Structure 1
Amino acid sequence: MSIIRFARLLGGKLKRLLVTTYQQANTQAKLIAAEPSLATAFEPTSIVEKSSAAAFAVIRTGSIVKNSALERHAYLGEESLLERSTIGKYSYTGANNIIRDTTIGNFCSIANGLSTGSGNHPTHLLSTSPAFYMRYPVVGISFAEKDVYHGHPHTYIGHDVWIGANVFLKSGVTIGNGAIIAAGAVVTKDVAPYAIVGGVPAQTIRKRFSEAQIAILEQLQWWHWSEADLQAAAPIFQTGDVEALQRWKQAR
């Protein structure tokens, strides 16, 4: 059993002592203006700068987190970069991800190799080089007196989204709640809620539910429910019965 899982089984003071001792012993981890909470784990060689991590969040070995936040029970896989981004509650990523300028919702399942927030370049200007459209000297020099193009629009990944391995998301896209992105997809435009997409460029394959059922799920917003409600409704989540979940919530 890992130190993280064991810590979760313990109560208050003992849990805090165990995790604090683990972190102090981990001399290879580097924390700079970070805000770890109860039972938060920064594993060896991880670097966390100007970021926060809520209870039970995990940052795995070799990952870099800058100006970002991990919410309760969020999990960042090995050798990943998280910059100016947020990972929502109960969401996890695999290894070797590059995540910049991105908000990830709750209950997301993200495999290895996600690339998002890599930036765009203008195709309507004479040159696509940032030396001409932004003042920041990317290559050590800039010929621009002002910024004329913003190449890093924010990317939004909704709640309960499943992203397969080695997916590329173009900066600025929005992935709707409940969507599934097939492995290897290149997503260049917004993805509708509960759509399954795949390919290069990604195209819609089908919807997971009917439009009426999708409307119910969007209205229920179960991803914001309390842990008590989620525990009580767990047997329904193990089915595909959207209407049963609606009836259960209405009866509460």
Structure 2
Amino acid sequence: MTYYEDYGPDRTRTLGPEPTLHEPVSITESELGAWTEVRGHARLHESEIGDYTYLMERVQLDYATVGKFGNVAADARLGPTNHPIDRPSAHHFTYRTAMYDLGEDDDSVFEWRADQPVEVGHDVWIGHGAIVLPGVTIGNGAVVGAGAVVADDVDPYTVVAGVPAEPIRRRFSTDVAERIEATEWWHWDHETLAERVGAFRDIERFLAAFAPEDGRQRGQTDA
């Protein structure tokens, strides 16, 4: 295994089709796509990450789906579990009851949590320490600033930041975003990505090769 020297001895340089896990991690009832990486002390519960998505250290996902090519920075949390504050007590003894030898657990709380999933699109960057609250949907190509608390849905290719998070600018103009979206490049296979990776280093080159002005996908054009 090879490492990036400038990022310390535990930063991998090469990944493979099988998920790369840096122990310790906690993964329960979750699915990981190809070429994914999960850094140490991350936790996934009833969640899914798409191909090429990586989770940095101490990321927590609960009832969350992250699309392909997701970039999730350290200490981010998606879908943090809510407490039922309409009860006399918000403490989890009222539903994790068996833990305290007080009777049977209340499964309705866990069902309630699962009914508020987080949905994150493809090519989304979640910044360091950001929190995405239950029930939020984040569109393709969006960016969430470090430390943001996202309580409302985020439109595709929109940059949000702050507490609560608010739009601060668009990543691309509406026209450019639509052209990129039309390519659905995140579904290209590994071989195609290898052939076309050069175009991903220059937006104008990418648009010219794969995203014509009329928005129709040009799937066979060489990069």
Matched, 1:105 2:70: no
**CA distance, structure 2, for counterparts of residue 145 and residue 234 of structure 1:** 50
Q: Which residue of 1 aligns with 2:207?
A: 243
Q: Does 1:117 align with 2:85?
A: no
CA contact (8 A) 2:183 2:219 kept: no
Does residue 211 (structure 1) correspond to residue 174 (structure 2)? The answer is: yes
Q: CA deviation at 1:146?
A: 8.7
How far apart in 1 are the matches of 2:106 and 2:159? Answer: 44
| Aligned residues with identical type, % of pairs | 30
Deviation of 1:194 (Å): 0.5
**Within 5 A, what are the aligned runs for 1:171-210?**
171-210=134-173
Tell me how far 1:209 sits from its aligned partner: 1.1
CA distance in 1, matches of 2:43, 2:145: 22
Structure 2: 5+ residue stretches without partners: 4-10
Deviations 1:107-157 (A, max 9, x none): 11111001122223456x46573779x866377458998948823411111
- Compared CA separation, residues 163 and 2, structure 1 to 2 (3 A): same
Structure-2 change in CA distance of 1:167 and 1:128 (3 Å): farther
Provide closer, same or farther for how the CA distance between residues 138 and 100 of structure 1 changes in structure 2, counting only shifts above 3 A: farther
Match of 1:228 in 2: 191
Aligned residue pair count: 205
- TM-score by length of structure 2 reads 0.78
Segments of 5+ residues of structure 1 without an aligned counterpart are 9-38, 40-54
Distance 1:118 1:212, change over 3 A: same
Residue 193 of structure 1 aligns with an amino acid whose one-letter code is P
**Within 2, Cα distance between the matches of 1:6 and 1:177?**
26
**Alpha-carbon distance between aligned partners in 1 of 2:170 and 2:57, rounded to the nearest angstrom:** 28
CA distance in 2, matches of 1:104, 1:116: 9
Which of 71, 74, 82 is matched with 2:44 structurally? 82
Distance 1:81 1:121 in 2: 19
The CA RMSD measured in Å over matched residues stands at: 3.1
Distance in 2 between residues matched to 1:86 and 1:251, nearest whole Å: 28
> Contact between 1:131 and 1:138, CA under 8 Å: does it hold in 2?
no
Question: Partner residue of 1:129?
Answer: 90
Residues 250, 171 of structure 1: alpha-carbon distance in 2 compared, 3 angstrom cutoff: same
> Normalising to structure 1: TM-score of the pair?
0.70
Kept after mapping to 1: 8 A contact 2:29/2:47: yes
Does the 8 A contact of 2:182 with 2:217 survive in 1? Answer: no
Distance across 2 between alignment mates of 1:102 and 1:128: 27
Q: Which gives a bigger RCO, structure 1 or 2 (Cα 8 Å, sep 6+)?
A: 2
Amino acid at match of 2:178: A
Do the aligned partners of residues 163 and 146 (structure 1) sit closer, same or farther apart at CA in structure 2, a change above 3 Å counting? closer
1:237, distance to aligned residue in structure 2 (A) = 1.0
